[in-house]
Amino acid sequence: MTKPTESQDFIQPSLNGPSAKLEASLSLAIHEHRLLPGTKLGEDELCDIYSVSRTVVRTALQSLSHSQLVDLKRNRGAFVAQPTIREAREVFEARSLLEPRTAYSAAERMTDEALALLEAHIAAEHEALEAGKPGKALRLSGQFHVDISRIADQSTIAGFIERLVARSSLIIAIYWKRQSALCEKHAHHALVDAFRRRDGSDAEALMKSHLLDILTALDLRDISDPPSKLRDVLKP
């Protein structure tokens, strides 16, 4: 079984080397909402900040583009991605298709070690919150989901979930409407409890409702059409 560890890179870097390091650093910043959607990532600026050549920057940006964290616009540059409302809905639909099943599998495959790691994970999340690091807490919150998918030991689906969680981070940055911390904290505890009991059905149901809960915290109302003409609006 693949052991989830916090030291594991959040998004699998392309390969070792300076570009992988840069990619990991940018990925982390995006996940922690230090880099917000729409932010322009200029090549020369990144070269300056990280003291690497443009070659390295471009490789990292391309890789981030494939992770869908960054949009590359030809001849215009790279920008932290901005998922639309439609995409937000799709992402959570895909998550609700994949993750409950994955939670079920994880419960069936659960070991004491994996359980301890999930628990340590939740503790780290709370710690980050108390230390006034909401960005880190947010990232860890998403990582919890990725860890579950890795425990389920189906790497293809885990890869998809990883991608969906990454995309979710961007969606949350744009559309989150709650004041409180991201994932309702009892939800992760309840999941771990189901895992402790190796109760797949319970885990599946909990994951489903947990995802629904996240979805309801997003403001995905259709933006109403702008008025056709100012005259129409402003006319007495």
Partner DNA sequence: GTCTCTCAAATTGTATACAATACTGTGCAC
Partner DNA sequence: GTGCACAGTATTGTATACAATTTGAGAGAC
* CA gyration radius, the chain: 19
Judge contact between 87 and 175, C-beta under 8 A.
no
Number of Cβ within 10 Å of residue 74's Cβ equals 5
Nearer to a second copy, 34 or 66 (CB): 66
- Least Cα distance to 216 among 170, 173, 183 occurs for 183
Nearer to DNA, 51 or 156 (CB): 51
How near is the Cβ of 130 to a second copy at its closest, in Å?
Answer: 34
Judge contact between 169 and 36, C-beta under 8 A.
no
Q: Which one of residues 79, 82, 96, 101 is an interface residue with a second copy (CB under 8 A)? A: 101
How near is the Cβ of 29 to a second copy at its closest, in Å?
Answer: 20
Q: Which does residue 94 touch among a second copy, DNA, none (CB within 5 to 8 A, set by kind)?
A: a second copy
Residues 6 or more apart whose Cβ sits within 8 Å of residue 209? 187
Q: Does 66 bind a second copy (CB under 8 A)?
A: yes
Judge contact between 20 and 11, C-beta under 8 A.
no
Longest Cα–Cα distance in the chain: 71
Judge contact between 182 and 136, C-beta under 8 A.
no
Q: What residues numbered 132-191 form the site for a second copy, per CB under 8 A?
A: 154-157, 160, 164, 167
Q: Does 5 bind a second copy (CB under 8 A)?
A: no
Q: Which one of residues 25, 39, 65, 96 is an interface residue with a second copy (CB under 8 A)? A: 65
Q: Which stretch binds a second copy (CB under 8 A): 30-38, 92-100, 114-122, 208-216?
A: 92-100
Interface contacts to a second copy, rule CB under 8 A: 14-17, 59, 62-63, 65-66, 72, 74, 87, 90-91, 93-94, 97-98, 101, 154-157, 160, 164, 167
